[in-house]
Each structure stands twice: as C-alpha cells, then as structure tokens.
Amino acid sequence: MVRLWSAIRPPVCLVAALSISFSVSVNAAERPNIVYILADDLGYGDVQCLNRQRGKIVTEHLDTFVSQSVVFTDAHSGSSVCTPTRYGLLTGRYAWRTRLQQGVLDGSDDPPLIADGRLTVGAMLQQHGYATAAIGKWHLGFLSKRPEGAPQFGTGKRKKAGGGLPVRSTILGGPTTRGFDYFWGCSNARTMSGLIENESVIENLQPIEMLPRLRSQAIGYIQQQAPAARSGKPFFLYLPLTSPHTPIVPTAEWKGTSGMGDYADFVKQTDAVVGGVLLELDKQQLAENTLVFFSSDNGCSPAAQTENLERAGHFASGSMRGYKADIWEGGHRVPFIARWPKRVKPGSSCEATICHTDLMATCAELLGEKLQDNAAEDSVSMLPALLGSASQPRREAIVHHSIQGKFAIRQGPWKLIFCSGSGGWGEPKDPAATKQGYPKVQLYNLANDLAESNNVQSLHPNVVTQLTQLLQQYVDQGRSTPGKRQSNDVEIDIFQQSP
C-alpha cells in the first residue's frame, strides 16, 4: 500500500467537545430517520455563509441550517457531473468502475447504470426496517415501454419531441428495483416533462412546475411517514432536487428576488425548498432524531452565466478554480451540511476529506452492519467525524473524475491531476493546454494553493510517482478500501487521452 501520511497533517474536526465519547452504532429504538437532500449544480460558494467574502446570494434557510449542523469543508462529489455522482452516492462505488467512463446518461431508455443485484443504500436500509423513498431526479438509467400508438423515438430524438415519456408509459429497472419502496420524480433535465410515480408516467408537466411539486411531494411523504417514525419505524428520504440546474426556471414568486438574475433567483427558491422540508420535520416532531444531509451533485455550471455573476461580485466556486465538469476543485468540492440534533454538535465544522460515496459505509456503521466485499468498495464511514469523535483520518485518499473522464487523486494536501487542462469545460481545455505545452500532469498543494494556480509537479517527482502508483492500485484492486480484490466492469486507463 502506497502511503504519504507521514508528511500530512491529519484533518481535524473543530467541535467544542472533542473529549466526549460517542457510541457509534445505535440500537434499534434510536435509529434515526435519514434525509439526503441533493441540489443539482449548486456551487460551494452559492451557500452564502460558506462564502462570506464572495457570496452575494442570500440563502437564509441554508445559513440557519448550518448554524444547527456540522459543516464538512472538504467534501466532494464522486464526479464533476451528475450521473456518476448519483451512482456513487447510492452504491458506495466510484462510477468510473462502470461502463460510464465519461459524460452522463442521456435520460430514459438507458440500461440502468446500477447493476441488478448490486447493494444500494436504499436496499441496505430496507433490510433494517426503513421505509425508503426517492423523490426527485433519478438520472441513473431505466428502460421503458410506451403505450400502443405512442411515438417510439429514442433518447437522442426525445428533445425534439418535447422531452419525457408519454403518459401511461412504464419504466423498467427504475428506482423501485434499486432499493426504494416509492419513487416520484423524473429522469433528468432533458426528459423532465415526464413525471413518474413508481413504475408509471402519470403526467406531463412544464419544467417550471417541477421544483414546487417536489417540495410538496417531499413534505407529503414526511407527513405520511411521521406516525410510524414516531413509533420507531424510521424512513430514508433521498431528495435529489432538479435545481438550480438548467432549465433555470424560478417561479413568479421568486423571479427578481435576488436582483442578480434567474440563476440567483433559482438558488433562493432552492434554499426555500430546503427550509420547507426542515420546517416539516419540526412540525412532525421528527427533527431531533432525523439525520439530514444537504449537498450538491457537483459544482455550479457555467450555464448559470457565471461570468455575469462574477461581475456582480458573486463567485459560485468561492476561491476555488473551475466549475461543473472540471477536474479542478470548483468542479467537485461541494457544500456538505449534516444535522442530527440528538447526536451532532451544532455550529461545528470538520476538515475531514469526505465523498458522497461515503453514505453507504456511514449508514452501515450507524446500524452495526458489516458490508460484504462486493459492496461499497469506495465508501468510508464519516460517522466518527460526523459525531465529533474522529481523531485520525479514515480515508487514505480520494479519487476525482471529470466529464471527459480525466482522473485526479488527492491525499492530504497533495492533488495530482492526470491531464494538462481542465478535463472539462473550463479554459484551458485539455487539447488547448497540450498545444500550449502545458505538462501532462498537474500537482497542487491545496494547503497553500486552494486556487490550484501553481503547478509544482516538476518540484515533487516522488509525490507524482507515489500518487500515480496509488491510483493504479485502486484501479487494479477494484476498490480503494480494505477488502478482497474486486473486478471493474471495464478496462480503465488512468492516463485516458481522449479530448
């Protein structure tokens, strides 16, 4: 095992009572409800209290939530784009181990990315008596069967035909086959008009209606589950929102409220949706023993007209370089807030490096579940850090991935990037960077260069070699955590050279 820890300062959880001893797992009577709210394309710096110097969008509900929670300041999505992050979140496995080596799935009529039989967070929680629901954007693939006479176009043509499946279509291999008792939502932005409940398309709607409907549906689900939850049968609500991703469509109630354009208005509306869910937990007397996570699937998208926002003084990536799709920090470092009043110190922060893939191992440790070797191969429990009892880092290293399939590996302060440019949409893109003679790899010390402005790969060849070997080891072993060697679904080249 390649290690650099001797030269690295361990992350510290900055809580007021580190000396308090916590029991990590809980007995059945104390199992918390779990709500995982995932914004879509919300930048780290879009939460105002996390970006006080350069954040101009008022996010009052999230700011209040932060004051009640622990904030992880070094949290990452599994990819700098949507589909692979969602795969990792639900399976505890990096999506680059699957057939999806770059980009995202088209929408409907993609074979499910989560293989039949692979353990998901939802399925594991079901085994422990949880009611499970996914309400929102799925974007992990499913096949469909359309009613007789409906157009049989494929996903590539669906956008021209209005997007989404026709009413009465049936989906095959969707969320209810991957660990969820209930699903209500859509596939992705391109097919948002097709509103799905469980396995059926029940309605076609306009995109502007989706976010308010998700809010109402999530609140309704909490109300429905509240009596059982108060009696000791917990629930897991996975709430992947469709905002502030394109189409950027704030409703009339929110349009113009930020003074900074539609994207900022949509962020404010997203903030209010989170506030509504939290308020309902309070109303139902469930907040005390509900573990609520809030995060984003990747960084802010350039489609938010980030240049205009920056001219107005708002930097959605804070002081970090890059945006959605990029391998730089702005592409995948995300806000990550967790509240559990019964166990988590409010108003605390933690520097531990975590990833969305860590949800599976966290829930397993919480419930005293031993994961099998063929599950959650890249998941590391964040529970001790969450509870403020962590004294040593649990994660050896973390792997990042861009929209073009370019890799990076991070260990302690060192981040090694296996491409010459952004690996995504940012400038310089890889072909231009290569043409301009930039080095084939980038090495940054994030402890003193969070903006990734000074490539020091030529000054630290040993670090480059060691981190390259460690990434290759993670590929070869089919896992980045201890356990028996597993197989990747496809051959993987860490030096992937496609543009």
Count CA atoms closer than 13 A to 261's CA, side-chain side: 16
pTM of the model: 0.94
Domain 30-387, CATH 3.40.720.10 — does that match?
A: yes
What number is the average pLDDT over the span 331-360? 96
> With 90 as the cut, is the pLDDT of residue 464 above it?
yes
- pLDDT tens profile 300-329: 999 999 999 999 999 999 999 999 999 999
- Count how many Cα atoms sit within 13 Å of the Cα of residue 455 in the half-sphere of its side chain: 15
Which residues are CB-contacts of 369 (< 8 A; sequence separation ≥ 6)? 124, 128, 363
Q: Residue 57 and residue 51: Cα distance in Å, rounded?
A: 10
State the average pLDDT for the chain: 92
| Whole-angstrom distance, CA of residue 27 vs CA of residue 393 | 26
CATH code of domain 398-477: 3.30.1120.10
How far does the chain reach from its first CA to its final CA, in angstroms? 31
Interval 387-422: pLDDT, tens: 988 766 789 999 999 999 999 999 999 999 999 999
Name the band, by pLDDT with cuts 50, 70 and 90, for residue 26: confident
Distance CA 282, CA 264 (A): 27
Q: What is the mean pLDDT of residues 278-297?
A: 98
Axis crossing angle, helix 60-67 with helix 262-283, rounded to the nearest 10: 50
Q: Cis omega before residue 439 (within 30°)?
A: no
Contact of 392 with 313, CB cutoff 8 Å: no
pLDDT at position 13: 54
The pair of three-digit structure tokens given for residue 234, joined into one six-digit string: 């917990």
pLDDT tier at 20 (50, 70, 90 boundaries)? very low
Tokens representing 150 are 């409906």
Q: Taking 60 as the threshold, does the pLDDT of residue 453 lie above it?
A: yes
**One-letter amino acid identity for 399?**
V
The 10s digit of each residue's pLDDT in 100-135 is: 999 999 877 899 999 999 999 999 999 999 999 999
The pLDDT assigned to 421 comes to: 98
Q: Provide the residue ranges of all domains of the chain, joining segments of one domain with +.
A: 30-387, 398-477
* Choice among 125-134, 218-227, 371-380, 490-499 with the minimum mean pLDDT: 490-499
Confidence tier at 497 by pLDDT (50, 70, 90): low
Q: What is the pLDDT of residues 126-178, one digit of tens each?
A: 999 999 999 999 999 999 999 987 765 444 444 444 478 999 999 999 999 99
